[in-house]
Amino acid sequence: MDFKLDNGSCGMSAKGCGKIQNNKLNTYDWLCGVPGAAEATEFVEVQFKNTRKGYYLNNAHIPLEKGDLVAVEAAPGHDIGTVSLTGKLVLLQMKKNHVRMDQAPKKIYRKARQNDLDKYHEAKAKEHETMIRSRQIAASLGLNMKIGDVEYQGDGNKAIFYYIADERVDFRQLIKVLAEAFRVRIEMKQIGARQEAGRIGGIGPCGRELCCSSWMTNFVSVATGAARYQDISMNPQKLAGQCAKLKCCINFEIDTYVEAQKHLPSHEMTLETQDNTYYHFKTDIFKREITYSTDKSIAANLVTIPAERAFEVIALNKQGTKPLSLEANAEKPTKQKSKDILEQDNVTRFDNVSKKKKKKRSGNANKEAKNADKQPQAAAQKPNQPKAGGNEKKNENKKQNQSAAKGNNNAANKPKQKQPKAASEKSAQPQTGNKPQSAGNANKNNKNNNKPAQDAKPAN
């Protein structure tokens, strides 16, 4: 038994199978290549226009592969379809789609010939024109329905009209008019708004292609309870999709939310404290935080606590005790306010800048005025500068007097000769200071100047 691989598909030489996924209705044949899987059944899955599929018996053992065009039995005549699945996996799909096995199955006649394909393309070319004409006929009869698509049978002897209607429609008169207009056998099949949106296609609010037009084949009813479990806003415009029905994606995560709700307190439980009675307001499942309100209908005095704290309060209430508050043992999350560095949200940000500039300008003007006032005062003080020189000369005289006194005490050991003229000249120098010397200071200076002259010994 030999196998072959071709562009992601694998098959056997007798009966081919493939893993090609060329559209959303294909079933991934994970049994392809398994020995004995292809000979397990003679049933073959055949796909037609839209989502219509059928299961036919290949009793003639025609070697078929995925993608072959075949002529199958129909009532009346024959139909043209594409083989979409072969092998053992067909039995599982028949069980999944509740195909009755007690009735005689329809058969596969042959692979489609060129004559069959010509009739098939001729019939398909009339579908759009027939749909437009049928809509006009239904509107003239006053029927509250919309014909969304028309599918002709492969041999052109039968046409299936797919329609959408919110109420029950009596289309017996419509069938008679359509049969007379198009000279074919008429079959009416009702579809939902989701099937129509899947056929038309589009982009959802998430930015991706619609699930119904990309991969979904089975549509399950969506209830508003699924939105309540997930704490989604009950806004019809946000909950509805392009088909005007509730979005299918609401059901995707409902199982996870239901499982998470089992580990959280019930919404019907009330928490009692010494001050108030708190009722459930909302739940954040991801953070495991519950918000309670003191009023059942509106948000009043909202308090958010962890689920563990809620269980503690419930246990205390069952024991007959009421805590002081719900947040007794709960840490309040500190919300740090974001600082607006650029002050973009401040409307008066430009006024503050202008005020600062005005303040700076006024401050500079005051400084210049103060400096101008100080300049004449400094000029007036310039003639008094000799006062500093007189003080310096006083300090020099005091130092000389102190050194002279030390010289008198040590005159016996270290006699020092001083010129009386220099001393008398220093004492005779006029004082330039504004303040005259006191009489006491003048006498002290005269005594100090005369002492060295008395102690001095004439040189030999």
pLDDT in the model for residue 285: 87
Q: Of 288, 268, 272, 289, give the one whose Cα is nearest residue 280.
A: 268
- The CATH architecture of the domain made up of 121-191 is 2-Layer Sandwich (3.30)
Q: In what order do the strands lie in the sheet with 271-272?
A: 271-272, 277-284, 289-293, 303-306
- Please identify which residue in the block is written with the tokens 């005369």: 450
Q: Strand 43-47 relative to strand 185-190: parallel, antiparallel, unpaired?
A: unpaired
Query: Of 22-26, 139-143, 319-323, where does mean pLDDT reach its minimum?
Result: 22-26
Q: Does 446 or 165 have the greater pLDDT score?
A: 165
pLDDT in the model for residue 330: 44
Global confidence as pTM: 0.55
Bond into 76 cis (ω within 30)? yes
Each residue's pLDDT tens digit, 27-63: 778 888 788 777 778 899 999 987 789 999 998 889 9
DSSP string, 101-134: SSSPPPBEEEE--HHHHHHHHHHHTTHHHHHHHH
Buried b (16+ CB within 10 A) or exposed e, 219-249: beebeeebbebeeeeeeeeebebbbebbbbe
> How is the chain split into domains, by residue range?
3-112, 121-191, 198-260, 263-318
Report residue 115 as tokens: 């004559």
pLDDT in the model for residue 451: 47
Each residue's pLDDT tens digit, 228-249: 888 888 888 889 998 889 999 9
